[in-house]
């Protein structure tokens, strides 16, 4: 091969990922509870728009600290409705871009089939050694779990048996590995087609804990990225909303 042709060939290979001028990448910070649906949504998003969503999963509070300190995220899918607002006030997010993409459902879950039938009754009997929940100070699902225990008047009696996960994914791991017999986790972690797929659980009624409104927001770093904007639009489309619902979320 002639050297100049080889060079052109190499350059073409290098530039191939940028071949479609309209296709772009977007860096997305995703709350842990939304891991499973977001993986599926990202796949469809790439197929439908050509844009690629690169996902990072973690605790919303940690993402907040990282975004405030210059993390390259362009979209945040938060587990709550306070963090996006705060980022907006502090100039790290674009005003007017946020909306509720999902309403989280809390479930008291055990990997043992048939164990959780009457949730409040099971908690009152207290026939378990450890009850797992996410850290109520930092995770909205943890705060909802604590509110549920307070509503049942059990927060004091069960205090000695509570173990806290750093985020909802770790909380699920504590229960799934059998180290905690029970745990408050996100319905989306164990649901398939809107129903609990493995083990047994009690879906906590939404009127006994504050609503877990999960907001998406466009971050300042993503304001000029068409893929970031496209992803937010995509999340609000009817077929995606139906998909989100199938993971056990509510909608607004």
Partner 1 sequence: MPLDSVALAAIWLTFKLASVTTLVLLLIGTPIAWWLARTTSRMKGPIGAVVALPLVLPPTVLGFYLLVAMGPNGFIGQFTQSIGLGTLPFTFAGLVVGSVFYSLPFVVQPLQNAFEAIGERPLEAAATLRAGPWDTFFSVVLPLARPGFITASILGFAHTVGEFGVVLMIGGNIPGQTRVVSVQIYDHVEAMEYAQAHWLAGGMLLFSFLVLLVLYGSRLKQGWRG
Compute the least distance from the CB of residue 173 to partner 1, in Å: 8
Compute the least distance from the CB of residue 219 to partner 1, in Å: 17
Asked if residue 158 lies in contact with residue 131, where contact means CB atoms within 8 angstroms, the answer is yes
Q: Which is nearer to partner 1, 45 or 73 (CB)?
A: 73
Asked if residue 66 lies in contact with residue 73, where contact means CB atoms within 8 angstroms, the answer is yes
Compute the least distance from the CB of residue 59 to partner 1, in Å: 6
Compute the least distance from the CB of residue 112 to partner 1, in Å: 11
Tokens of 165: 């996960």
Q: Which is nearer to partner 1, 58 or 120 (CB)?
A: 58
Kind of pairing between the strands at 52-58 and 99-104: unpaired
Distant-in-sequence, close-in-space partners of 146: CB < 8 Å, separation ≥ 6: 133, 136, 155
Q: Which is nearer to partner 1, 146 or 235 (CB)?
A: 146
Compute the least distance from the CB of residue 12 to partner 1, in Å: 39
Q: Which is nearer to partner 1, 138 or 198 (CB)?
A: 138
Tokens of 170: 């770790």
Say how far apart CA 198 and CA 133 lie, in whole Å: 18
DSSP-derived 3-state class of residue 197: coil
Kind of pairing between the strands at 131-134 and 182-186: parallel
Which residues does residue 106 pair with via DSSP β-bridges, in sequence order?
186
Q: Which is nearer to partner 1, 61 or 222 (CB)?
A: 61
List interacting residues with partner 1 (CB under 8 A): 59, 61-62, 64-65, 129-130, 132, 135, 137-138, 162-166, 170, 173-174, 177-180
Compute the least distance from the CB of residue 56 to partner 1, in Å: 15
Compute the least distance from the CB of residue 226 to partner 1, in Å: 32
DSSP-derived 3-state class of residue 63: helix
Asked if residue 76 lies in contact with residue 29, where contact means CB atoms within 8 angstroms, the answer is yes
Phi-psi region of 145 (alpha: psi -120 to 50; beta: other; left: phi over 0): alpha
Q: Which is nearer to partner 1, 109 or 234 (CB)?
A: 109
Q: Which is nearer to partner 1, 25 or 164 (CB)?
A: 164
CA distances from 202 to 153, 167, 246 (A): 17, 20, 17
């Amino acid at each position: 091969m002639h050297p100049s042709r080889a060079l052109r060939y190499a350059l073409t290979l290098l530039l191939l990922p940028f071949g479609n001028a309209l296709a772009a990448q977007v860096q997305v910070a995703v709350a842990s509870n939304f891991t499973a649906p977001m993986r599926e949504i990202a796949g469809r998003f790439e197929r439908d728009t050509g844009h690629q969503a690169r996902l990072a999963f973690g605790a919303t509070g940690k993402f907040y600290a990282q975004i405030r300190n210059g993390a390259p995220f362009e979209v945040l899918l938060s587990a709550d409705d306070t963090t996006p607002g705060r980022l907006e006030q502090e100039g790290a997010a674009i005003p007017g871009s946020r909306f509720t993409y999902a309403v989280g459902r809390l479930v008291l879950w055990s990997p043992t089939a048939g164990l959780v039938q009457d949730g409040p009754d099971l908690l009152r009997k207290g026939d378990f050694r450890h009850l797992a929940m996410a850290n109520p100070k930092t995770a909205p699902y943890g705060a909802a779990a604590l509110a549920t225990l307070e509503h049942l008047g059990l927060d004091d009696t069960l205090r000695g048996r509570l173990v806290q996960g750093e985020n909802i994914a770790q909380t699920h791991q504590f229960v799934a590995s059998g180290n905690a017999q029970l745990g408050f986790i996100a319905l989306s972690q164990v649901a398939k087609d809107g129903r609990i797929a493995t083990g047994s659980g009690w879906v906590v009624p939404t009127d006994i804990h504050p609503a877990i409104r999960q907001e998406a927001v466009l971050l300042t770093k993503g304001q000029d990225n068409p893929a970031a904007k496209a992803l937010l639009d995509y999340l609000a489309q009817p077929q995606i909303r139906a998909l989100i619902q199938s993971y056990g979320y509510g909608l607004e």
